[in-house]
Structure 1
Amino acid sequence: MNFFEHQAAARRTSAWLVALFALAVAGIVLAVDLVAWIATRSTGALAFFSLATLATIGLGSLYRIASLRGGGEPVALQMGGVPVPENTTDLNLRRLRNVVEEIAIASGVPVPRLYVLEHEAGINAFAAGYSPSDAVVAVTRGALDRLNRDELQGVIAHEFSHILNGDMRLNIRLIGVLFGILMIGLIGRKILQNGGLGGRNKSAGAVVVAALAALVIGYIGLFFGRMIKAGVSRTRESLADASAVQFTRQTVGLAGALKKIGGLAEGATLNDGGNAEEVSHMLFGEGLKLSGLFATHPPLLMRIQALEPQFRGEELEQLRAKWFAAAPVGLDEDAMLGLDAVGGSRLPNATQELNVTPPMVAAQVAAPAADDYRRADAIASGIPEALRDLAAQRDAVMPLLLALLLADDEALAERQRFEIAARLGSDAADHAARIHQQLVADLHPMLRLPLAALAFPVLRLRPRPQLDAFMDTVHAVVNADGEVSLFEYCLGRLLTVQVRESLDPGRYSHFGPRKPNAVKREIALLLAVVAQAGHDDADSARRAYLAGMLRVLPNEHLAYAPPANGVLALDEVWGPLDRLDPLAKQALVEGVTAAISNDGRISVAEAELLRTICGVLHCPLPPMLERS
């Protein structure tokens, strides 16, 4: 399956999840009614207890879903995660940040926030959030200490598969939904822990009996919850393993991490059993000692053999004996295996043209491969150290991102500086102008989006009022003059979308049900702007427009009509287009590619424009459009 098919499958899984949830609720209501009938023999009591049970489950689910509206960060904090500082000197944390940054650049998404579960010695990790804009990646201290760089890369690539394919959104909603069906048991447990709410009379005894009954009924919810998580999770974990191998193009790292889980005493088990139960379906390895129907992951040996078919179970026993005497140390293995650095490749010349086709580009959305990882290393190395330092500074990150939007034309740049000064102050405006003149004006076009991705984790640490002011400033800078290029416009829009989603991920991060015919006017407008921006004469632009329309709406005949206000007309199209269903988005990506590459070749600058438009539409595109 490609990205769009994964998203469509996630929507179908969500519908299946609703059906299983309804079945679980029905089972709990019937169990409560049975207890109520035995206790009261009253049909009126049955109606009351049924309604009370439904209300308890519904309110519990709504409460938990509301508590997770902040996206991935609340989950990481609940698990005891500690944020990884941007300027950390810990070698393990530095290595983790480098690996995550390279994979984020190769995937075409913002760098997620990083957390470490410091008190967990087992080897495990998870990704949480509604979308790449609010994603967090958390790893255990055991994973940092025991895994070498290849193994850590395999684990992180596995987690990025969950980020890219929509698994995170489903997983975080699963937490909220399943909390409701556990509510009856939780209430019974709390009452028993508090001694039946005090007292020694008959009513207190009745409360204890009711609490015991609720606790027993709660196991029905636990049974269904574990079954649902196992059913949703297992296939996705196998797919994530396969995606990680496709990405890193080697099985040694991921297989090595799985072998260490099987060979070390700590395995993947988490000490915090209560929280591990809730997030077990999100983890890299089995966080609880569950097997059979309740296991959220395929058997460990099966996962290893999918990567190394010749591996046998007795080899795990040999590794256990070997590591019982001396547990491996990841950094020491790096030095011994020469994994201290990753070999990269060179960036293409800024004027180079690429040979691409629309289906090829659509197939690469959210499907990074080894070529992308090698290029990501070159991209990360190509970003000047001064810009990387600015991207890690809280006070410099806003001027840095605004500098990417400043025009080379002095008159227009002056108007843009005025807009920045009016909203963020003259110091921010001057700082942005200096960064643009000294560091950004001659920046390779392939480095602008990755630089924004590196800066994003620091940007979203700023208080909400400052982020609101920043979004307003971005809009003003982009709209300072009608001569703003399509790339600058789209980059500004991409920044706005990502900041907005990081502030309120539960509200904005979703896929819609719309079909192309419902938004044909918006599709025509986008393709007309893209075609006009990429061609000097009207005839060439019209041919490019028609090539794009043929991919998206082959049976429609909408005339080429570029808007008078150019790129600024696109403000009204993004919302409707983002609500297209996943497979319709695939056709749209192919249409935009066909319009940009009407002659079959696109420049590096046009490729970056395509990546930016895909980012706005939540279709992350890796940097390597041509595969070697």
Structure 2
Amino acid sequence: MNFFEQQARARRSSSRLVFLFALAVAGIVLAIDLAVALVAGPDPRLLAFTTLAALCVIGLGSLYRLASLRGGGDAVALQFGGTPVPDDARDPSLRRLRNVVEEIAIASGVPVPGLYVLEKETAINAFAAGYSSSDAAIAVTRGALDRLNRDELQGVIAHEFSHVLNGDMRLNIRLIGVLFGILMISLIGRKVLYLGSGSRGRDTAWITVAALVALVVGSIGLFFARMIKASVSRSRERLADASAVQFTRQTAGLAGALKKIAGLPDGARLNDRADAEEASHMLFGDGVGFSGLFATHPPILERIQALEPGFRGEQLERLRSQWALAPPSGLEEDRMMGLDAPRAVLPAHDARLDVTPPMVAAQVGAPEADDYRRADAIVSRMPEALVALAHSRDAVRSLVLGLLLDRDDAVRERQLAEITARLGDGVARGAAMLQGGELAALHPMQRLPLAAIAFPVLRRRPRPDLEVFLDTVHAVVHCDGHVSLFEYCLARLLAVQLRESLDPRRHARFGRRKPGSVRTEFSTLLAVVAQAGNPDDPAAAQRAYLAGLQRVLPRDHMPYAPPGDGVLALDRVWPALDALEPLAKQLMVEAVTAAASHDGRISVAESELLRTICGVLHCPLPPGLEAA
């Protein structure tokens, strides 16, 4: 199942959630009406009132909980006890976590998520939360940082990234919200019993009876809530394990993490049981201890054996005995196994990449071992000073704007004037110094990834600051009347991802449009891509355009007509193309690749444009393809 099929599955899962929720609400309302009818008789007006009251309580409860999660991944992580990882973390475990997450984010082609640690949890666990990749957050327990080596931590994080890529996160947040509404009746009954426990009198007795009825009826809600979470979660956890292995191309890391969960006393169970139950469907491991019908995860031994078929229960017992005497230390295992050395190199600056449309479409949302090794090379060979600036709240704006400064002195002076007018002289001077220093020597394949590393720091700035920053980016890109491919790519990705992080719920939706309804937009997109790849050869550009059109609209005759405003014409096509259904987006990716590689190869600049198109349309593409 590829990325687009998984997105379609996630959309169907959302529909199934609505059905299960409606079924649960119907069961609760019928139970309440039955209880009222037994006590007060079958009065239609009274039953209508209780039905309406129950629906209002459930609906308002769900709306309240969803509103409390409106902030997306960061809000969820904070509500469940997460502590943000500092930008200047000195703790080796936190630095290792940041490195692993950044590498996997770059390898998968998504913005680097926010990072959180559950400091009070000694168990091994993690979760990903958010409405989309632009507002995603990943939280890991302190136990995971202390006990897992780098390969094992990588396996856990890759598992969580599969939830980011497959559209599972938004379903997880909706589950928290709607299930809270189902549980409201029970919560009200429990609260009334607690407040009235010391009172006496006839009226109090009736209130107590009503509270007990609410508790009993609420148990129906609890049953449905646990059943819904279990039915939605188990299959997705198996898929996430398989995706993590596909990503890293080694089973030892993920299997090792699962073995440590099974073999250590703390396992994966969280200390805060209330939070653990509400978030049980989001966790990497079983944080509550449910089994049977209510189990949100497959049995731990089954998960291990899916990765290592020869593993047996007796081996697990030996590991338990070994770790009881000497608990594992992740950092010490890293040093002993040499897991902290870079393992890959970057291609030449002028390399041309050998690709095919199906190959690129298969890589969307499905990074593999080569992508991870390339991301490892990109991050490990990035100058430490630049990475430090990307993590600095004070310097990050200068860094990103420095990437956009022109080499021409006159143009650069106008750009710096725009920066000074909006953000001050200090930001402008910092951008100029970086553009003439470390940024000038940066490999082309490291520019967008460096911006991705800076993204979590940028998105934590106040909304007014972000609006001014994005306005500055727009002014810097357009001040000379000419927008290069790289300028457009970086500016557009920043605008889309930062604006989505400001209002994540607004952008969390699956499209439903068919290719035939966006013919004009497809034509414009393919014409821009063809022209960008063949600026001095109109005949070659036309051939590239037709190669792409044949992929997506083979029966339509739409003549090649390159737009006069070049790459800026893409601004007009994004809304319609982003509304395509998932499988139609697969055709779109193949068509764009066919246009960019009509001769079988694409340049690094074309690769950046391809990644930008995929990123804006929520089809994350790894940072590089196979070099010829």
Please indicate, yes or no, whether the TM-score normalized by the shorter chain is above 0.5.
yes
Matching residue of 1:493? 492
Query: d(CA) in 1 for partners of 2:596 and 2:401?
Result: 26
Aligned letter for 1:458? V
Determine whether 1:91 maps to 2:92: yes
Tell me, yes or no, if structure 1 residue 389 matches structure 2 residue 385: no
Structure 1 position 618, deviation (Å): 1.2
Give the partner amino acid of 2:489.
C
Match of 1:528 in 2: 527
Q: Distance in 2 between matches of 1:336 and 1:564?
A: 60
Distance 2:205 2:572 in 1: 64
Counterpart residue number, 2:156? 155
Distance 1:420 1:557 in 2: 46
Partner of 1:540: 540
* Aligned pairs (5 A) from 1:131-142: 131-142=132-143
Helix, strand or coil at the partner of 1:557:
coil
Counterpart in 1 of 2:113?
A: 112
Q: Residues of 1 paired with 2:577 and 2:414: CA distance?
A: 31
Partner of 1:16: 16
1:413-467 deviations in Å (ceiling 9; x for gaps): 3332232222212332232222222222342110011101111111112111101
1:479 and 2:464 matched: no
Q: Is the CA contact 2:346–2:374 (under 8 Å) kept in the aligned structure 1?
A: yes
1:169 equivalent in structure 2:
170
How far apart, CA to CA, are the structure 1 residues paired with 2:55 and 2:539?
Answer: 63
1:351 and 2:371 correspond = no
Is the 8 Å Cα contact of residues 353 and 627 (structure 2) preserved in structure 1? no
Aligned partner of 1:122 in structure 2 is 123
Identity, in percent, stands at: 70
- 1:603 partner amino acid: S
Q: Shift in Å at residue 627 of structure 1?
A: 7.6
Q: CA deviation at 1:566?
A: 1.7
Structure-1 residue corresponding to 2:448: 449
C-alpha contact 1:371 1:627 (8 A) present in aligned 2 = no
2:276–2:288 contact (8 Å) kept in structure 1: yes
CA distance in 1, matches of 2:585, 2:24: 34
Q: CA deviation at 1:472?
A: 1.4
Q: Distance in 2 between matches of 1:390 and 1:74?
A: 26
* Aligned AA (2:405): L
Quick one: which amino acid aligns to residue 365 of structure 1?
V
The TM-score with structure 1 as length reference comes to: 0.97
Structure 1: distance between partners of 2:216 and 2:435: 65
* CA shift for structure 1 position 168: 0.8
Aligned twin of 2:553: 553
Q: Is the 8 A contact 1:371 1:624 kept in 2?
A: no
> What's 1:428 paired with?
427
Map 1:365-376 → 2, pairs under 5 A: 365-376=364-375
Q: Secondary structure at the match of 1:233?
A: helix
Q: Which moved more, 1:608-617 or 1:492-501?
A: 608-617
Does structure 1 retain, via aligned residues, the 8 Å contact 2:113–2:135? yes
| Corresponding residue for residue 103 of structure 2 | 102
Would the aligned equivalents of 1:269 and 1:289 in 2 still touch at CA under 8 Å?
Answer: yes
Q: SS of 2:138's equivalent?
A: strand
Match in the other structure for 2:623: 623
**d(CA) in 2 for partners of 1:63, 1:433:** 47
In the TM superposition, residue 164 of structure 1 has moved relative to its aligned partner by 1.1
1: CA distance between counterparts of 2:99 and 2:430? 27
Superposed CA deviations along residues 241-284 of structure 1, whole A, max 9, x for unmatched, are 11111111111111111111111111100111111111100000
1:577 Cα deviation from its structure 2 partner = 1.2
- TM-score under structure 2 normalisation? 0.97
Gaps of 5+ in 2: none
Can you list the C-alpha shifts for 1:470-503, whole angstroms capped at 9, x where unaligned? 1111222222233211231121010011111111
Contact 1:482–1:566 under 8 Å retained in 2: no
Question: What SS does the aligned partner of 2:436 have?
Answer: helix
- The 1:481–1:548 alpha-carbon spacing in structure 2 relative to 1, beyond 3 Å, is farther
CA distance in 2, matches of 1:429, 1:324: 57
Distance 1:293 1:80 in 2: 28
Q: Sort the Cα spacing of 1:76 and 1:4 in 2 relative to 1 into closer, same or farther, 3 A.
A: same
Residues 547-605 of structure 1 show CA distances to partners (whole Å, capped at 9, x for unaligned) of 11111222222221112222222222112211111111111111111111110111122
State the distance in 2 between where 1:299 and 1:624 align: 37
Q: Distance in 2 between matches of 1:290 and 1:365?
A: 35
| Inter-partner Cα distance in structure 1 for 2:474 and 2:39 | 65
Structure 2 residue aligned with 1:68: 69
| Cα distance in 2 between the residues matched to 1:410 and 1:590 | 40
Comparing 531-540 and 354-363, the one that deviates more:
531-540
Shift in CA distance, 511/409, structure 1 to aligned 2, threshold 3 Å: farther
Deviates more, 1:132-141 or 1:502-511: 502-511
Give the residue type in structure 1 aligned to 2:130.
Answer: G
Matched AA of 1:545: Y
- 1:55 alignment partner in structure 2: 56
The one-letter code of the counterpart of 1:271 is N
1:122, 1:140 within 8 Å by CA — same for their partners in 2? yes
On the 8 A contact 1:379/1:446 being kept in 2, the answer is yes
1:10-409 equivalence runs, <5 A: 10-41=10-41, 42-195=43-196, 199-339=199-339, 341-409=340-408
Moved more, 522-531 or 474-483: 474-483
What secondary structure is seen at the aligned counterpart in 2 of 1:484? coil
Does the 8 Å CA contact 1:382/1:447 hold for their aligned counterparts?
A: no
Secondary structure, counterpart of 1:404 in structure 2:
helix
Q: Distance in 1 between matches of 2:555 and 2:178?
A: 42
**More deviation, 428-437/55-64:** 428-437
Task: Please name the residue that 2:464 is paired with.
Answer: 465
Distance 1:392 1:24 in 2: 46
Q: Distance in 2 between matches of 1:317 and 1:627?
A: 46
Distance 1:237 1:342 in 2: 30
* Post-superposition offset of 1:199: 4.2
Shift in Å, 1:401: 0.9
Take 1:364 and 1:467, find their aligned partners in 2: how far apart are those partners? 32
Kept after mapping to 2: 8 A contact 1:24/1:221:
yes
- Report the Cα distance in structure 2 between the residues aligned to 1:4 and 1:487, rounded to whole angstroms: 27
The one-letter amino acid paired with 2:186 is: G
Instruction: Check the 8 A contact 2:234/2:296 in 1, yes or no.
Output: yes
- Range moving further from structure 2, 447-456 or 81-90: 81-90
